[in-house]
Chain A
């Protein structure tokens, strides 16, 4: 059974600081997703990482994937208040990678 662990689950940051969210998973997969969710809203896709060593960046967020270590990271650079949200990683599995297994999410609060 695939297990996905995110840490930390809660993260309080000051504006301008850097931090990393970690996503570990238990079985082989080469497809990993990062989502953002604002309170009361649906999931917004941030990144899809498809191969070992994949790195993607969008604004102050950068995601990477190490399939050998079964680890993905979401790095936040110079945080701003607008980044406050819950961030989820999800790992694909099953035939044609149809099934997503989500981490429990990281609630990020960026304080002025």
Chain B
């Protein structure tokens, strides 16, 4: 079975940093792009970032550009989201998502990031 397990969520102060991890199993990791999507409490889904199969291409939503960095280690079946200069608006559940030919088909259960003074 395809599995994506996020970790690294925590409570931090504004201006702080966090690194999220997403460990995957059940498929050949190096063959797939991976995305991060977040959801603020009680709010909707928002796409954050994506990375291609070998990590040579990455892209970001405007509101995280320059603050977040996505990367991957294909030997460890892991994707990372390095987040810095965090603001209260970055609070939410962060989902790791694997697409296939049908779209964003496989989602992890998410990890909660809370940014508060």
A binds B: no
B residues whose Cβ falls under 8 Å from a Cβ of A: none
A residues whose Cβ falls under 8 Å from a Cβ of B: none
